[in-house]
Amino acid sequence: MRTHTGEKPFACEVCGVRFTRNDKLKIHMRKHTGERPYSCPHCPARFLHSYDLKNHMHLHTGDRPYECHLCHKAFAKEDHLQRHLKGQNCLEVRTRRRRKDDAPPHYPPPSATTPSPAGLDLSNGHLDTFRLSLSRFWEQSAPTGPPASTPGPPDDDEEEGAPATPQAEGAMESS
């Protein structure tokens, strides 16, 4: 019932933090006393909470219960999985994020004043709008020809030893 009323009758004598239950106050007091009742049987590590010992034990057993659903890499600690998913460590996450960031903006559906582009019927709403924006994105990003820096065969009217660029001409004159 205290949860609903907001009553917190158990107060820490050291720092004044209040709790709804006495057992929570006792656990809190360990911070002030330095008590760490949960100890690892394999190393000198000691913990305030039993769940911290349980997570620590994964290091000794090799158990990795937290798995990335995208790349299936496994971790001993849940926060390591969360860091993996948020960070740049998962190739699949980076790929998905890149695809999302590269996605073109959504175009508003045509109204009575703006005709449907290319005569497409977009009355179906968001899905058609997305399809249109996606097709525009691919049209704009499609290569139009070979890159300008790609060397091609010499023209018939060029001499075989002639420099191809103005920078190369200047280099040949100074030598």
Q: Which CATH number fits domain 1-35: 3.30.160.60, 3.50.50.60, 2.130.10.10, 1.10.3260.10?
A: 3.30.160.60
Q: Is 100 exposed, middle or buried (0-12, 13-18, 19+ CB in 10 A)?
A: exposed
What is the DSSP annotation of 104-125?
A: PPPPPPP-SSSPPGGG---TT-
Residues 76-100: pLDDT tens digits?
888 888 888 877 666 666 666 555 5
Round to the nearest angstrom and report the end-to-end CA distance of the chain: 93
Q: H or E element: which one contains 7?
A: none
> Is the entire prediction scored with pTM above 0.85?
no
pLDDT at 83: 86
Domain ranges (residues) in the chain = 1-35
Q: What mean pLDDT is predicted for residues 66-76?
A: 86
Q: Is the pLDDT of residue 104 over 50?
A: no
Q: Is the pLDDT of residue 169 over 60?
A: no
